[in-house]
């Protein structure tokens, strides 16, 4: 089997997992001494997010793995470390990968400490914040939420058709969670965000739970407008008005806005922080037992991204996950992600995170990388 990145053929299969080779990413780096890596650890701000000067990217510091990546964890299977490194090195663009054994004691990553655009991955933090409010008695899953034309957003929002035809709709928090997570509906997610208290409420949850290098942006409308170089207007939520306004911008304006977003994403998160959060969710330390079970069930019903990480797992494995996909500019996508919890037939669980900060690789090639990562995790399970 062959894959092609940027028109160049890439090599095929090794030991049961697809290994992509033949094109070295600009993400590849020179290994550094351990002491130097420690000196370059990201600095956490008061909200627990990695802080860097506006307009400056977080620099890579992850060398070829030679043992445990994160202090306090045991050693991952040596072959898996090497396999993940080779996959990461060969893929064109800025890519972050993190794997953590939930029922065990090890983790590994490449560019695991850097910030990557989350896009719809951030819907997970909204739902976690809502369920935490439910656990605290401040909300209920049966609480009703009205959604009108003034609430419409951009891009993927199937719920908008009902709002336009009916004038407004009222849905339970439970139904909004199901719609936001399983169908990645932006309107359902923003409605939950508004109901739980806005972006500051989600940031407060992230801080309270000490989730580390995870930022939460300003909401779908402002995030997407800012990434495109626009100032949000509610008229952009109608038809293809947003795309039209974006296309009318000077190319330099769009490129500058995209560059600023990629250099310092307002919704950025590190792969290792996300893997840790997934681990804590699976272990039941983020939410009540009832909310934990409920959310994992919802994540298990996700419809988006069936050919991403999920497709690399063998029969008998289960996967609960959340995807995220950003805007395109000049053949480059800003944010192409999948994060989730894989469960082996024997019940052992792994948090798997693959985030593409920027890549020009074809969509099949992106999915092939994700499948190769999850396939490698399954191959080395039990070794």
> What CA–CA distances, in Å, run from 26 to 14, 85, 94?
23, 14, 7
Q: Write the CATH number of the domain with boundaries 122-261.
A: 3.40.710.10
**Environment class of 249 (CB within 10 Å of its CB; exposed 0-12, middle 13-18, buried 19+):** middle
pLDDT at 147 (0 to 100): 98
**Environment class of 304 (CB within 10 Å of its CB; exposed 0-12, middle 13-18, buried 19+):** middle
**φ and ψ of 54, to 5 deg:** -55, 135
The secondary structure of 16-75 as a DSSP string is TEE---SS--TT------HHHHHHTPPPB-TTS-B---TT-PPPP---S--S-SSTTSBP
Task: Provide the sign of the torsion angle of the four alpha carbons 286, 215, 40, 354, taken in this order.
Answer: positive
> What CA–CA distances, in Å, run from 383 to 75, 79, 380?
12, 9, 5
Residues in the chain: 383
> What CA–CA distances, in Å, run from 64 to 30, 59, 80, 94, 168?
8, 16, 12, 16, 53
pLDDT at 383 (0 to 100): 80
Placement of tokens 């972006």 in the chain? 199
| C-alpha gyration radius of the chain | 20
367, two tokens: 């999915």
Fold: same for 3-118+266-379 and 122-261: yes
Among candidate residues 195, 75, 87, 183, the one with its CA nearest the CA of residue 145? 195
**Kind of pairing between the strands at 144-147 and 169-172:** antiparallel
DSSP 8-state class, residue 348: -
> What CA–CA distances, in Å, run from 141 to 122, 144, 181?
20, 8, 15
Which CATH architecture group holds 3-118+266-379? 3-Layer(aba) Sandwich (3.40)
pLDDT at 318 (0 to 100): 97
* Mean pLDDT of each 10-residue bin along the chain, 383 residues long: 36 33 30 34 33 31 37 72 96 96 92 97 98 98 98 96 96 98 97 98 98 97 97 96 97 97 97 98 98 98 96 98 96 95 97 95 96 98 85
DSSP 8-state class, residue 148: -
Alpha-helical (H) ranges within the chain are: 34-39, 78-90, 123-135, 159-166, 173-182, 186-196, 199-208, 220-228, 241-247, 251-263, 271-283, 289-300, 363-379
Q: Are 8 and 2 in contact (CB under 8 A)?
A: no
- Taking the CB of residue 63, how many other CB atoms lie within 10 A of it? 17
pLDDT at 321 (0 to 100): 98
DSSP 8-state class, residue 106: B
Model pTM? 0.81
Domain ranges of the chain: 3-118+266-379, 122-261
DSSP 8-state class, residue 234: G
């Amino acid at each position: 089997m062959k894959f092609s990145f940027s028109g160049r053929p890439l090599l095929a299969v090794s030991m049961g997992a697809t290994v992509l080779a033949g094109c070295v990413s600009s993400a590849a780096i020179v290994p550094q001494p351990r002491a130097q890596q420690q000196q370059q650890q990201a600095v956490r701000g008061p909200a627990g997010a990695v802080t860097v000067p506006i307009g400056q990217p977080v620099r890579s510091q992850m060398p070829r793995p030679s043992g445990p990546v994160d202090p306090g964890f045991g050693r991952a299977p040596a072959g898996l470390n090497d396999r993940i490194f080779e996959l990461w090195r060969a893929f064109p663009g800025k890519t972050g990968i993190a794997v953590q054994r939930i029922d065990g004691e090890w983790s590994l990553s490449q560019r695991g400490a850097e910030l990557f655009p989350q896009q719809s991955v951030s819907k997970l933090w909204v739902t976690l914040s809502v369920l935490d409010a439910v656990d605290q008695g401040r909300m209920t899953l049966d609480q009703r939420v009205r959604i009108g034309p003034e609430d419409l957003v951009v891009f993927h929002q199937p719920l908008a058709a009902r709002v336009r035809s009916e004038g407004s709709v009222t849905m339970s928090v439970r139904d909004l969670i199901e719609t936001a997570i399983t169908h990645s509906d932006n309107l359902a997610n923003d409605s939950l965000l508004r109901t739980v208290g806005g972006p500051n409420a989600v940031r407060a949850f992230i801080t309270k739970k000490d989730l580390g290098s995870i930022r939460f942006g300003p909401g779908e409308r402002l995030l997407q407008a800012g990434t495109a170089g626009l100032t949000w207007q509610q008229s952009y939520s109608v038809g293809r008005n947003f795309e039209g306004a974006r296309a009318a911008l000077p190319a330099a304006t769009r490129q500058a806005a995209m560059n600023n977003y990629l250099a310092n994403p307002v919704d950025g998160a590190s792969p290792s922080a996300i893997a840790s959060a997934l681990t804590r969710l699976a272990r039941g330390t983020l939410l009540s037992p009832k909310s934990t079970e409920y959310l994992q069930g919802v994540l298990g019903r996700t419809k988006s991204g069936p050919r991403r990480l999920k497709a690399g797992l063998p029969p008998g494995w289960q996967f609960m996950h959340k995807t995220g996909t950003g805007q395109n500019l000049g053949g480059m996508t800003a944010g192409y992600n999948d994060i989730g919890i894989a469960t082996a037939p024997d019940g052992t669980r792994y948090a798997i995170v693959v985030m593409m900060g920027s890549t020009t690789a074809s969509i099949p090639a992106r999915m092939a990388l994700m499948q190769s990562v999850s396939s490698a995790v399954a191959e080395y399970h039990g070794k």
